[in-house]
Structure 1
């Protein structure tokens, strides 16, 4: 693969990475090439009520820690005009994004929503008991990610900033350099380096941080307790919790993007179809009929 600097990576991704597939704890979201959104899975709180959305350019899905059995979740859509729409569980105000503008990327964590503005600043709404929404002083950000109780920001110089709970060391990234992409699991943080290797800190009970041997990685994703790496040849590697088969991706080919829910994994193929493995209790893996899903960078 051709190795690039963080700034080059940002430019290659039209500066701000935009997710076109997203996985919550029990639901799956995908952006179609016509700007509409499709969803399957648990809809107890209306988190799949996206059929009326139009002109969407990116999506995000709130997740829940594996030990939480409430299924509460929300879904976020970024529109082409830089505004944001949200549906789903709103107990902590995580869907109160109607007044946001000039947003270029979105992320959804447990009970909160994070938005990156075109000027490199960041906004957040929702639960803030652990300080995970204290991002008002962030500057010069290129990407954002949200875990259970921590929020991650990638700066244009390739360093990473984190706020929130650090019980498992998931915020210990001060020494990271040359990072071009980030992901946040429930209690772990993943950083993709410009040389195609991957760094990880935080909770590692299931080996979800055992990524030191990975090479030629071009994208990363993190679920509750598993981690995904997309390789330059379109294959996928996975480590961590595999109770539901969410790490059974060794046979995948021609993948251009990955997403991780709590216990299911998504892969977007170059032909605009989607593959899924893992927990399917609520139909969150029933994506076999999907077509015309927007490819990243298009």
Structure 2
């Protein structure tokens, strides 16, 4: 049966990251009309830009482009309408990620591509230096190019200034500047993360990393100033360490925001840890402190969550029946519920957009009946959120 899907967006639009043809913010969900002709299967919201992947492997980008983050030389500083990345038209992109100001993508053959800022080698190319001062020179990669050519990759993830990939063998490799500038020397050649094998999923925040292994254990490394590694302290780790408090849980998904982390169990329960300011962990308005170890988000108990996405200062959770809950910082419309104040209490986001003009599953002359939009995937960015919704007849 044919279905009707749409991409929706809300939050800050100052860099065109909503893709709605203007740089205005939206406090309620709105349709990204430029993507209506396409069957979009995945969306990614970055700090100031966005991307969408179609069923046929087409990749669209929009938003901030001063560093070439949209995959083509910037004619303007921002672009508020999605456009296809022409350099990748001959490959079938299956997954992509947005970092601080660079992007990664992987095709159906396991080949990886990178573009955007590269001053720390995060695009896989050796950054240039000033011969006299030794300082790094800014060299942006305007057109997507191959990176990590020796690896066959199944997932890419991008941090503030570093890149991480998961190979089909279950190994994790990384390059770029993994910690804030000055802490660790950057590398432009992929280095395997030691101590990790049989990994099935990775997630990367600004400067911290998560890896979920096939045996259900969760490992973390990187910066830890807010407890985002879940180790019970705030000590950074250069090598993976086991995340505490999750033993015996059947984890199926993980997510990392700027400075916080989440894990999802098969039973639809959410665990959060790391920076708690603005209520981004979802523990309630009166509990905004950072958490050093994972704690269950009791306010989502019983909602049967199937996906959680972490942004800069807010988070969203999606239920099995297609509802969206948001929590965290509320300005710029981040929470999708009008001019709502910052809150740590998850509240449902109304998907109030018009029904599709034509419902493919309804034959001519039949009653279209009533229906509703149900979310299929959500993606949190720095100050905006994207989602794919599907029309479901009731």
| TM-score, L = length of structure 1 | 0.81
Deviations 1:96-148 (A, max 9, x none): 23321311111111112211111111001100111111124252111111111
In the aligned structure 2, how far is the partner of 1:246 from the partner of 1:51? 29
Question: Which residues of 2 match residues 207-222 of structure 1 at below 5 A?
Answer: 207-210=227-230, 211-214=243-246, 215-222=249-256
Residue 36 (1) aligns with residue 6 (2):
yes
Aligned counterpart in structure 1 of residue 259 of structure 2, from 221, 225, 228: 225
Q: Which has the larger radius of gyration?
A: 2
**TM-aligned CA deviation for residue 48 of structure 1:** 0.2
| Rounded Cα–Cα distance in structure 1 between residues aligned with 2:163 and 2:321 | 32
Look up the match of 1:51: 33
Q: In structure 2, how many angstroms separate the alpha carbons of the residues matched to 1:93 and 1:183? A: 23
Question: What's the CA shift for 1:173?
Answer: 2.6
Partner SS, residue 181 of structure 1: strand
Structure 1, unpaired ranges of 5+: 1-32, 64-72
Q: Paired residue for 1:70? A: none
Of the three residues 214, 226, 240, the one matched with 1:206 is 226
How do residues 43-82 of structure 1 correspond to structure 2 at under 5 angstroms? Answer: 43-49=13-19, 50-53=32-35, 54-63=38-47, 73-82=48-57
TM-score normalised by length of structure 2: 0.62
Distance 1:172 1:141 in 2: 13
User: Closer, same or farther in 2 for the Cα pair 1:265/1:295, shift >3 Å?
Assistant: closer
* 1:29 matched residue in structure 2: none
Report the number of matched residues.
Answer: 256
- Alignment gaps of 5+ in structure 2: 20-31, 72-84, 125-146, 231-242, 283-296, 338-348, 352-372, 379-389
Aligned to 2:59: 84
Match of 1:93 in 2: 68
Cα distance per residue 1:10-61 (max 9 Å; x no partner):
xxxxxxxxxxxxxxxxxxxxxxx73421000000011001321131110111
Aligned counterpart in structure 1 of residue 94 of structure 2, from 96, 104, 122: 104
- CA deviation map 1:255-279 (0-9, x unaligned): 0011110111111111111111111
Q: Distance in 1 between matches of 2:54 and 2:117?
A: 24
Partner of 1:9: none
Q: Of the candidates 250, 275, 283, which is equivalent to residue 298 of structure 2?
A: 250
Decide which structure has greater strand share.
Answer: 2
